[in-house]
Amino acid sequence: DTGVSQDPRHKITKRGQNVTFRCDPISEHNRLYWYRQTLGQGPEFLTYFQNEAQLEKSRLLSDRFSAERPKGSFSTLEIQRTEQGDSAMYLCASSRGARNEAFFGQGTRLTVV
C-alpha cells in the first residue's frame, strides 16, 4: 500500500498523559500536513512541513502540541499533558508540492478520559 499511513488508529489516554502519533506520507511527497477533526466538523489545519522544515503553525496548535519531521520523511505529532478537549481525529496528509492535491491517511482517533 503506497498511501498515507498513520499509527496508531485509535488511542485512549488518561488526562494529563503525553501521546505521540506517527504519519508516514506517500514516499515522493515533500509536503506533509496535520489536521484535527472533531465530531460533526470539517478538518482544521494544524501545521505543515515542506521536507523537514515546519513552515506554518495554526493558532490551534498550543504549546502542548509539537510536530516534527526529521529527515523530511515520516512525521510525529506529540501532545503533552492531554486534556479532554484534545479528543478528536488527527489526520495527516501529504502532497507533491504546493499546487497538488493532498492525500489523507485514515487518521488517529484520540480519546482523552
Positions that interact with other proteins (CB under 8 A): 31, 33, 35, 40-45, 48, 50, 55-56, 89, 91, 93, 95, 98-107, 109
Phi, psi (deg, nearest 5) at residue 110: -105, 130
Distances (CA, A) of 69 to 4, 51, 83: 15, 8, 24
Identity of the residue, 49 or 86, whose beta carbon is nearer to other proteins in the bound complex? 49
Minimum Å distance from CB 77 to other proteins? 16
Nearer to other proteins, 100 or 111 (CB): 100
CB of residue 98 vs other proteins: minimum separation in angstroms? 4
Q: Which is nearest to 53 in space by CA: 23, 22, 30, 37? A: 30
**Cβ atoms of 5 and 104 closer than 8 Å:** no
- The number of C-alpha atoms within 13 Å of 85 and in the hemisphere containing its C-beta is 5
CB of 81 to other proteins, least distance (A): 26
**Residue (22 or 109) nearer to other proteins, CB:** 109
Computed over its alpha carbons, how large is the radius of gyration of the chain?
13
Shortest reach from residue 8's CB to other proteins, in Å: 13
Nearer to other proteins, 80 or 96 (CB): 96
